[in-house]
Amino acid sequence: MKTTKKYWIALAIVAATGFVGCGKQSSTSKGDRTANALATYVAPGEKDEYYLFYSGGHSGQVFVAGLPSLRHISTIPVFAPYPGTGYGFDEASKKMLGDFTWGDMHHPALSQTDSKYDGRWLFVNDVANNRIARIDLRDFKTHQILGPIPNSMGNHGSSFVTENTEYILCATRFSVPLPKGRVADPKDYEKEFNGMVSGIKVDPQTGEMKVGWQILTPPFDWDLGSTGKGPSSGWAFWTNYNTAMAHDVLEANATQKDRDLCAIVNWRAAAQAVADGKAQMMDGVPIIDPAKVPGILYFVPIGKSPHGFDVDPTGKWVVAGGKLQPATTVLNFEKVQAAINNKTFEGNFRGVPILKYEAVVEGEVPVGLGPLHTQYDGKGFAYTSMFIDSCIVKWKLPPWSDEEKKDLNKVVLDKVQTHFATGHLVVAGSDTKNPYGKWLVALNKLSAGRHIDVGPAEPESSQLIDISGDKMKMVAEAYTEPEPHFAQILKVSEIQPAEVYPKDENKDPNAVWDKAQTGVTRNGNQVVAKLTAIRSRFTPDRIDAQVGDTLTIYLTNIEQTRDMIHGFGIVENNINITVDPGETKTMKLKLTKTGVFPFYCTNFCSALHQEMQGYLVVWKTGEGPANPAPAGATAQR
Ligand code: CUA
């Protein structure tokens, strides 16, 4: 389908005004108000039915909300320090964050078993620093950050989980000279730069991630992807918006072609090729050159600068959002498979076969302007977010009747206005074989003053749409911190988060549980303090040390009661951690100034929370009661 003149006029309007759509007034008719309120009202004492896990974009965090209330319930810090939970202040989380204090989180993915959510982990990617993190849904905390991933720049086309969480698949947004560290002039982009698809191996028991293998690609800008299931089991798909391989003024130079070459990857064959020794090592990672190892990578042309690629719950239909083409393109994976087997190619690019467009495409559905992402309800319907038209379009997946095929306008069934410029959207379980629930959440890029004013920058908006009937119905909206990209929805009944960390599961060798084990010891200039926290005291509540010492504090919360959390802040020492019941945390400080520094519980824990305090006494070097205490001895009081 050619881009129409009307389309470009609309684009110009969007560029000039920021959005199109239906203005700032309420979109809810009077008669609907009560019904909508009742549909989303979660009364005091009642609970939501679903979790909504929003990616927090460049805040580096995951926001947890309830559905249908859209109420924010919790924030999970991942790529940025968060004093609210002490994340990034204790040694374990500081080590995970490494040298970075931010990340750009985009696409959360729940772990799957047999193409269904298994409620174990949530994986999130960091575009900026080429990382992947794993959140454990047992305690809603970040347990691993992997990266920066070698040979990979701009980890945007990520994180896509395979059918049994064998791999998390990622593709690069940016291309650079590889391996990283090598320098070439961007003018030599086509020759010197490369992109990469990475397979991150996930341990089936522990969830521990490691870089498995990589597939070298031309310097295209890979965009969003999706993994296969059913007939497309073992395959993965990425769109691309820079087949032109432009390296400057991409706005104009990357958008010249009517169709861009998107990637179809046989990840199972890639893993096998590496096992068979068909890879070369680069920066410690086995790399497959798809021109030398056939059967791993295919290209398919898709119009135009497509954005999302989403596999439907049956695994047969693979839908690309056209972004700059007012249509979604529906690939039939059975035809893809046949085209591969019969070599129905329209040439190759750098030795990688290009599948013949007409042989694999089922149809282009004229959904409207700016289609980005598609989600599915498992009942044969697709829902596409429209960035420019600011709406969600519901349409019917194939198989289509002959009459529908003649005019695919007939499969476009419903549109609901959103406010404004919807990016991602999410339907519960859309990326599994069993979507569930009646809700769709539109994640909008602009809120355009639909909320109380908060200054020049406005929050992002989310809108809740009931998709249980023939017609979609917008029922509620809410706002979030920057900046949700994608989200995942999980039934609350699918998981059973921990209430405390049981004492016998605490394997920290420095955990202490009673007064006799606590104390402060010195070895040279290394001072170690082992403390317990319980309502409403720290034991000991005095630590003596000296300038020049390195002080390590191990703090164990010996409570076994849910939500009995204690904090530990040291005044003027930039330390604030929290410890959950049964947890031990480690803090390390290099002492550089004398003084008496109060420490206190920062997390309200009881009526005597205010009394939960103590002193860090930092003496001049060579002075104070702890000096010279023999190694292993408890400091005098
Ligand atoms: Cu312990 Cu406040």
Query: Residue 152, exposed/middle/buried by CB under 10 A (0-12, 13-18, 19+)?
Result: buried
> Residue 1's pLDDT is what?
40
Q: Which residue minimizes the CA distance to atom 1 of ligand 1? A: 566
What pLDDT is attached to residue 309?
A: 96
Summarised one tens digit per residue, pLDDT across range 236-283 is 999 999 999 999 999 888 888 889 999 999 999 999 999 999 999 999
Nearest atom in ligand 1 to the alpha carbon of residue 565 is 1
Taking the CA of residue 605 as reference, the ligand 1 atom at the shortest distance is 2
Phi, psi torsion values for 209, nearest 5 degrees: -105, 145
Whole-number Å distance, alpha carbon 636 to ligand 1 midpoint, is 26
What spacing in Å lies between the alpha carbon of 90 and ligand 1's midpoint? 18
What is the arrangement of strands in the sheet containing 487-491, beginning at the earlier edge strand? 72-77, 61-67, 50-55, 487-491
Helix, strand or coil, per DSSP, at residue 18: coil
Residue 531 C-alpha to ligand 1 middle, in angstroms? 14
- Is residue 429 within 8 A of residue 435, CB to CB? The reply is yes
Q: Find, among 579, 574, 573, the residue nearest to 603 by Cα.
A: 579
Give yes or no for a contact between 591 and 546, defined as CB atoms under 8 angstroms apart.
yes
Q: Which atom of ligand 1 is nearest to the CA of 536?
A: 1
For CA atoms 52, 56, 62, 63, give the dihedral sign.
Answer: negative
For 563-600, write each residue's pLDDT tens digit.
999 999 999 999 999 999 999 999 999 999 999 999 99
Q: 386 pairs with which residues across the strands?
A: 371, 391
- Residues within a 6 A CB radius of ligand 1: 536, 566, 601, 603-605, 609, 612
For 437-479, what is each residue's pLDDT tens digit?
799 999 999 998 999 999 999 999 999 999 999 999 999 999 9
**Closest ligand 1 atom, CA of 535?**
1
Q: Cα torsion for 506, 509, 513, 517, to the nearest 10°? A: 180
d(CA 108, CA 60): 12
Strands 116-126 and 109-113: antiparallel
For ligand 1, what atom is nearest to the CA of residue 602? Answer: 2
The span from the CA of 439 to the CA of 117, in Å, is 17
- 581 close to 500: Cβ distance less than 8 angstroms: yes
**Closest to 451 measured CA to CA, from 441, 443, 440, 462:** 462
Distance 575 CA to ligand 1 centre (A): 15
User: With 90 as the cut, is the pLDDT of residue 201 above it?
Assistant: yes
**How far does residue 526's CA lie from ligand 1's centre (Å)?**
28
Q: Which residue has the tokens 């629930």?
A: 437
Residue 629 has pLDDT above 50, yes or no: no
Q: What is the mean pLDDT of the chain?
A: 93
Can you tell me the mean pLDDT for 291-310?
95
- Tell me the per-residue pLDDT of 474-516, one tens digit each, with 9 for 90 and over: 999 999 999 999 999 999 999 999 999 999 999 999 999 999 9
- What is the whole-number distance in angstroms between the Cα of residue 602 and the centre of ligand 1? 6
Atom of ligand 1 nearest to the CA of 601: 2
> Cα separation of 225 and 307, whole Å?
9
Sheet hosting strand 613-619, strand order edge to edge: 542-546, 613-619, 595-600, 566-570, 575-579
Using an 8 Å Cβ cutoff, are 146 and 123 in contact?
no
What's the gap in Å between 86 CA and the centre of ligand 1?
14
Contact between residue 267 and residue 162 where contact means Cβ atoms under 8 Å apart: yes
Amino acid at 177: P
Give 605 Cα–ligand 1 centroid separation in angstroms: 4
β 157-161/141-146 pair status: unpaired
Of ligand 1's listed atoms, the one at least distance from the Cα of 606 is 2
The per-residue pLDDT for 391 is 97
Overall size of the chain counted in residues:
637
Rounded distance from Cα 583 to ligand 1 centre (Å): 15
